[in-house]
């Protein structure tokens, strides 16, 4: 396991989770519960943990594709648990997965 990759991925996931909270709050006019927002943040943190724990790839395109796929899979857990209420939040998971994977790829 690459400890540096894990730490960076978790930190980026946590930061992107905060970005998600801000975005969700603005889309829903501050009407979301703290539990919902924490779950949103934790989903992005989990994405960072998963990406940080898996072996890095040598091809950046494959790494980005893997990030997108993992982002969709992990975000689907949250999306389905919320009765499919936030399609944008689900789709952004793919983007964030690619972002985390790209940054982790560059760190090596």
Which of 4, 30, 16 minimizes the C-alpha distance to 74? 16
H helix intervals, 1-108? 3-27, 34-53, 60-81, 87-107
For the segment 34-81, what is each residue's pLDDT rounded down to a tens digit? 999 999 999 999 999 999 999 999 999 999 999 999 999 999 999 999
42 φ/ψ angles, rounded to the nearest 5 degrees: -65, -35
43: nearest Cα among 55, 53, 35: 35
What is the model's pLDDT at position 1?
76
**CA pair distance 17, 43, nearest whole angstrom:** 7
Percent of the chain with pLDDT strictly greater than 70? 99
Surface-to-core class of residue 10, CB atoms within 10 Å of its CB (0-12 exposed, 13-18 middle, 19+ buried): buried
What are the phi and psi torsion angles at 86 (to 5°)? -130, 80
DSSP annotation of 28 reads T
pLDDT band at 107 (very low <50, low <70, confident <90, very high): confident
What's the pTM? Answer: 0.94
């Amino acid at each position: 396991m690459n400890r540096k990759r894990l730490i960076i991925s978790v930190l980026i996931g946590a930061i992107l989770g905060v970005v998600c909270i801000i975005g969700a709050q603005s889309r829903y006019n501050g009407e979301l519960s703290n539990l919902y927002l924490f779950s949103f943040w934790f989903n992005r943190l989990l994405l960072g943990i998963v990406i940080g724990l898996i072996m890095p790839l040598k091809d950046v395109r494959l790494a980005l594709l893997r990030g997108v796929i993992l982002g969709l899979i992990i975000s689907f857990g949250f999306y389905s648990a919320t009765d499919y209420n936030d399609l944008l939040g689900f789709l952004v998971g793919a983007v964030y997965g690619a972002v985390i994977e790209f940054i982790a790829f560059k760190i090596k």
